[in-house]
Chain A
Amino acid sequence: MTIDLILFLILAVVAIATALGMLLSRNAVYSALFLVLNFATVAVFYVLLGAPFIAMAQITVYAGAIMVLFLFVIMLLGAEKTPGNPKWSDYILPAGLALVLVLESIYLLISRGVPSGEIVQPEASVNSVDFLRQMGMALFNEYLLPFEVTSILLLVAMVGAIVLTKQEKGGRG
């Protein structure tokens, strides 16, 4: 049992726990906070997996931007507590399905065993500027078109959000 593994297991427990917390909380604000925690945990995983850039993106975009947006909306709508929380009976069918899904995928992994091997804690060099350059090179050469398309997508989403929430001028106009 290496340090890595121990760390992994601890973090995995935290991640699952926060995910369940998000799922089960009656208050939406709590759910959001659980999710932030979950995202942070996943960010640590990324670091462990030798993807520090993604980890930072995860923190800033998800934990920082998106979840703040969620909280804003929750507060704005006053929707912390929504009526009609699921009863236990509501969980039976979905949970059964989910269980089957998990079992299926685990079985699939084991029986087919496609991705094998272990993740080694990366060298320090991975975290160097050189790595980031590689990443940048790939992003702006090989994946330039998707990159640009993504920027357009973001623009469109921005415009869409503005249009959707725009106040009707109504009688005042």
Chain B
Amino acid sequence: MQLSETISTGFLFLAPWLVFFPVIGLLINLIFGGRMSEKAIGWVASAASGAAFVVSVLLAYSVSAAHGEVLRWTLAPWMHVGDLAIDWTFRADSLSTTMMLVVSGVGTLIHIYAIGYMHEDVRFKSDLGRYRRFFVFLNLFIAMMMILVSGDSYMMLFVGWEGVGLCSFLLIGFWYDMDTLGRPSWANSNAAKKAFITNRIGDFGFLLAGFLMFWKLGSFQFDSVFEAAAEVAHNEPWVIVAITLFMLIGVAGKSAQIPLYVWLPDAMAGPTPVSALIHAATMVTAGVYLVTRSSELYTLVPQAQYIVAMVGAATALFAATIAVGQYDIKKVLAYSTISQLGFMVAAVGMGAYVAGMFHLVTHAFFKALLFLSAGSVILGLERGHHHLAHHGGHGGGHHEEVFDPGDMRNMGGLRKTMPVTFWLYMIGTLALAGIFPFAGFWSKDEILLDASLHYPTVYILLSIAAFFTAFYMGRQIWMVFFGEARHDAAAHAEESKPIITAPLMVLAALSILGGALNLPFEGFHNLGHWLEYTLHEVEALPLNLQVAGISTALALTAIVVSWLIYGRKPLTKGQPDPLKKPLGLIFTGMENKWFVDEGYWAVFVNRYVDISRFLADYVDWRFWHDFVHDKVIAGTYNWLSTIALNDYADQKVINWFFDGWGRATQWLSATTRKVQNGFVRSYALSIMLGVVVILGYLLLKP
């Protein structure tokens, strides 16, 4: 039986190993890591992730061999209560294998990169012990991400969904005892906590969607849900709307959309490979995956689709404007990520699932590339700074000031000192800006094309966002790599080692060629056809020269503008941003993220703290505990028992009576004690008297 199944389902039996391999790697490092060398730890973790990639490839092959048949592998039952039946079932179809390939592929590259990167990072922050912990967390992340994309039910997806949230928490707070500059601080752990809690808000929405789904659609299993949905949508459309909108809350949390995007920029507190892997390439795209996965629900309710698309588009534009005003190299990329996620969410919201997935994949390539290159830049500056500290001929003073290796105002002219990184960064930038023929061009164009056909508002918003994208990326390139070094560290920056640049080259190649996955020409819609197995409505649009032309023109214009502002006259040391003057307040807004965080703090966070303090201090403790219980209940009892009863009733009344009784007895005995004179004869006399009296009584008794 097992045999025949194995044949018909190809390598499906390997599906659980998607999770087991990373878990094994994690356990090896956890248990034996203490005795292993740094290199060994890193390679074990990378191998675990690589094994998961191999499994993904084999699964993808199996899916294609099965002609898109959905393949399921049940490992064990999970929750079976009453009608509720959730199993640990792995699902391989074209959509999930796509995600698996991206996650494990990019993941493996980043693992390898991290071997080199973390080696230097832990050295700079002088805590070598954390090297092992990093890879343990990274493997855990891969495992969780695999559960997320391979689960066959919403609840198994949710396990991964929360699990990656946990890993995100752990990795953002990886340097939990310092801030991004290495000073002792709560900053990083705060960022981690913020990310987790914000994600939990999203998960709350996901859970509610789940409850509604179960009671209205009767299951959590994808296919059963979709099957039931059609009828329910006909009878009670609000149910599907509610489910999809609750799900949108989850999407907003995980994929950093308005209004829950605020955690992602802070998440840059994590080490750079983490930013690349989790906060750019994989985890944050889980929301996009969720919507795509639920495409059959969203398709049923256009209202919800519209809301999703608008949220995505608004996020894309909003985040792009903030990116313009940032100085931290990673923060710019973070807002860029939010913006690009907005593109994807908008795409899947519009029903352009293939376009969304396409952009997800290419974005994973080029954004990972950008982040990792940024990491390389940061390390280069660290090295330069380190170099300075050791050859400190430049006169003490300014080395003691805290040096921020991520601040673009400290950079400049790195083109010469870090040429490899420069070129890699350029490729990433061009791909992100959507310049032909890089991957980003094809995927973004497909989204814009779809929007132009169906949702003009979205199209306009996204086009503006695309303009800003090219602009801030141009700004970054000019500020970082051109001009003159604005800090000694930048002047002494050193190129990174091959172990860091090699994965980048692979990613660069993918960023260039990634577009080939789904070229908008007849016969080249590879990804589209591949996903068609899973997604039933796939539009294969041909290239629209008008849309493509406009977007390319916008991007080029933006780059030229950025050159005019930042490239033509390079920034000098200490000079404020040239945009600050002309834009005034608007730029202050961009710089300060439009004060959204402050607003949230004022409206929600501080109020929550106030309320809970109030409840804890006043309501629960002072009122309920101290006043009601100790004062009123215990106090009344005490008063009754000590004052009213003891002091008054007992002492004054009852005691007085018995005291009196006692005194009377005392007096009586003092008097009668004289009778006891000790003379035996008088006792005898009284006995005699008694005898006489008793006899007399007997006589007189009738």
Contacts and interface: CB of A to CB of B under 8 A. Distances in A.
The reply, when asked whether chain A contacts chain B directly with Cβ atoms under 8 A, is yes
Interface of A: 93-94, 97-98, 100-101, 104-105, 107-108, 111
Nearest to A105: B695
Contact of B688 (A94, A105, A107, A111): A94
Interface in B662-702: 685, 688-689, 691-692, 695-696, 698-699
A94 B688 CA distance: 8
A107 B685 contact: no
Contact of B685 (A93, A100, A101, A111): A93
Contacts of B692: 97, 100-101, 104
A117 B689 CA distance: 32
A108 B699 contact: yes
Majority secondary structure of chain A interface residues (helix, strand, loop or mixed): helix
B216 to A, nearest CB: 95
Given A93-B685, A94-B685, A111 B699 contact: yes
Given A93-B685, A101-B691, 11 more contacts: A94-B685, A97-B692, A100-B692, A100-B696, A101-B692, A101-B695, A107-B699, A108-B695, A108-B698, A108-B699, A111-B699
Nearest to A108: B699
B403 to A, nearest CB: 104
A101 B699 contact: no
B699 A104 contact: yes
A159 to B, nearest CB: 25
24 contacts: A93-B685, A94-B685, A94-B688, A97-B685, A97-B688, A97-B689, A97-B692, A98-B688, A100-B692, A100-B696, A101-B688, A101-B691, A101-B692, A101-B695, A104-B692, A104-B695, A104-B696, A104-B699, A105-B695, A107-B699, A108-B695, A108-B698, A108-B699, A111-B699
B686 to A, nearest CB: 11
A62 B698 CA distance: 33
Most central of B685, B689, B692 by chain A CB within 10 Å: B692
Majority secondary structure of chain B interface residues (helix, strand, loop or mixed): helix
B297 to A, nearest CB: 104
Nearest to B685: A94
Contacts of A93: 685
Nearest to A90: B681
Contacts of A107: 699
A94 B684 CA distance: 10
A94 to B, nearest CB: 7
A9 to B, nearest CB: 26
A5 B61 CA distance: 148
A2 B695 CA distance: 33
Nearest to B688: A97
Interface string B352-365: 00000000000000
Interface of B: 685, 688-689, 691-692, 695-696, 698-699
Nearest to B684: A94
A100 B206 CA distance: 113
B486 to A, nearest CB: 116
A94 B687 CA distance: 11
A35 B691 CA distance: 24
A107 B699 CA distance: 8
Contacts of B688: 94, 97-98, 101
Nearest to A98: B688
B121 to A, nearest CB: 99
A101 B691 CA distance: 8
A74 to B, nearest CB: 19
A146 B558 CA distance: 132
Contacts of B691: 101
A93 B685 CA distance: 9
A105 B688 CA distance: 13
Contacts of A101: 688, 691-692, 695
A101 B698 CA distance: 12
Contacts of B695: 101, 104-105, 108
B640 to A, nearest CB: 60
A83 to B, nearest CB: 15
A98 B689 CA distance: 9
A100 B699 CA distance: 12
A7 B699 CA distance: 32
Contacts of A105: 695
Contacts of A97: 685, 688-689, 692
A47 B88 CA distance: 118
Nearest to A96: B692
A111 B689 CA distance: 22
Contacts of A94: 685, 688
B690 to A, nearest CB: 10
Nearest to A107: B699
A94 B692 CA distance: 11
Contacts of B685: 93-94, 97
Nearest to B694: A104
Nearest to B698: A108
A105 B698 CA distance: 10
A95 to B, nearest CB: 11
A54 B62 CA distance: 129
A104 B691 CA distance: 10
A93 B688 CA distance: 11
B162 to A, nearest CB: 91
A18 B481 CA distance: 151
A41 to B, nearest CB: 25
A115 to B, nearest CB: 16
A104 B698 CA distance: 10
A38 B661 CA distance: 54
A101 B688 CA distance: 9
A26 B685 CA distance: 21
Q: Which 5 A-B pairs have the closest CB atoms?
A: A104-B695, A97-B688, A100-B692, A101-B692, A97-B692
A100 B685 CA distance: 14
A98 B699 CA distance: 16
A98 B688 CA distance: 8
B22 to A, nearest CB: 96
Contacts of B696: 100, 104
Most central of A98, A100, A105, A107 by chain B CB within 10 Å: A100
B647 to A, nearest CB: 55
A98 B692 CA distance: 8
Nearest to B689: A97
Contacts of B698: 108
Contacts of A111: 699
A75 B162 CA distance: 116
A107 B688 CA distance: 18
A111 B699 CA distance: 9
Most central of A94, A104, A108 by chain B CB within 10 Å: A104
A105 B695 CA distance: 8
A166 to B, nearest CB: 24
A125 B615 CA distance: 111
A108 to B, nearest CB: 6
A105 B692 CA distance: 9
A96 B685 CA distance: 12
Nearest to A99: B692
Contacts of A98: 688
A5 to B, nearest CB: 28
A98 B685 CA distance: 10
A156 to B, nearest CB: 23
Nearest to B691: A101
A93 B684 CA distance: 12
A104 B688 CA distance: 13
A25 B693 CA distance: 30
A107 B696 CA distance: 10
A108 B696 CA distance: 9
A96 B57 CA distance: 135
A61 B695 CA distance: 32
Contacts of A100: 692, 696
